[in-house]
Amino acid sequence: MITYRQEAVSGIFYKSSEKELKSQIKKCFLDKKFGPSNPPLVKKSDEFKAFIIPHAGYDYSGYCAAHAFRRIGENSDPEIIVLLGPNHSGYGDTASLYPEGVWMTPLGEVKVDKEFNELLLKTGVFTPDDLSHSQEHSLEVQLPFFKYVYGDKMPTIVPILISKRFTDSEGLKELGTALFKAWMKSSKRVLFIASSDFSHVGVGYGFIPFNERGKELSDKVKVLDRELIKYITELDTNKVIEYAKDNLLTVCGLNSIIVLINVLRNMKGKRVKGELLKHYTSGEVTDEYENFVDYASIEFKQV
């Protein structure tokens, strides 16, 4: 019997009807201030790529995400999309893998790649678990964008939630290595996505790193996060972990990012580097700075 993962945040993080959702995503692509100004154009490249993409409501982070999805749409299509995201609820193990079935979206179904998942489960470091995924939004919000870009040619997905409480850097390295080995055994063209928002700022998030308020606080937070982004693009896991810890950063998908970096660091003999595509805070979109979140889209490719 097929397991169906129903939409948990449809109508909350993004529009619930097909027509309205397509219009919402198109708006994100066409926005000239925060978005990339255009949807994906013709296929221009055939490169290995990986991305960090935000996962808030489309009215806030969708414009930032569109920068990554434009690059994704202009590259050759992958066979599998590996999605790494934070487990906000705290339920589940260190690395919770949605084992098999179909994820529902307003734009159609998305199939889970059972064969790739079986390779991951054989490593012994991933746990099959559909319950922890049932209400989690960090991976779900990526799928309508993918369906918009790929349509009926949508690749299969491998949804993985990484515990935010996991603090073992060697364990995160082990997850990245196991994921890399499964990729190599599969011989498939894989697109890797780490789903993460950056610093969450304000009383509501328990994090106010500077005395400034309003736009000035937003600007300083972006500078704070920009240093972390520099270490991320350089694939320097030690500096990423150290800097985030020293500055008490509230980056919700930090472990997912570290796992992705560890996958990329396993690509021996191939120089991979990140590029920041877009960076802004929700406060800049809404002009509300009492509580706001920092967003960034980052692309990784061989150079």
Task: Tell which residue, 129, 192, 209, has the closest CA to residue 161.
Answer: 129
What is the C-alpha separation between 67 and 140, in angstroms, rounded? 18
Task: Tell which residue, 279, 138, 299, 276, has the closest CA to residue 218.
Answer: 279
Q: 271: burial class by Cβ within 10 Å (0-12, 13-18, 19+)?
A: exposed
What is the pLDDT, as a whole number, of residue 165?
A: 78
pLDDT digits (tens, 9 = 90+) for 66-104: 999 999 999 999 999 999 999 998 777 889 999 999 999
Residue entry with tokens 């040619």:
153
To the question of pTM greater than 0.75 for the whole model, the response is yes
CATH number of 4-302: 3.40.830.10
Please give the structure tokens belonging to residue 177: 């290595």
Chain centroid offset of residue 126 CA: 19
What is the C-alpha separation between 176 and 126, in angstroms, rounded? 11
Spell out the alpha helix ranges (H) of 151-253. 169-186, 215-233, 237-246
pLDDT along the chain (303 residues), means of 10: 92 98 98 97 89 98 98 96 93 90 98 97 94 96 98 97 87 96 96 98 96 97 98 97 97 97 90 96 98 98 90
pLDDT digits (tens, 9 = 90+) for 154-203: 999 999 999 987 888 999 999 999 999 999 999 999 999 999 999 999 99
Q: Measure the CA angle with vertex 226, ends 224 and 217; round to 5°.
A: 40
Please give the structure tokens belonging to residue 164: 């935010």
Task: Tell which residue, 150, 244, 189, 216, has the closest CA to residue 50.
Answer: 189
What is the C-alpha separation between 237 and 71, in angstroms, rounded? 25
Asked if 276 contacts 233 with a C-beta cutoff of 8 angstroms, the reply is yes
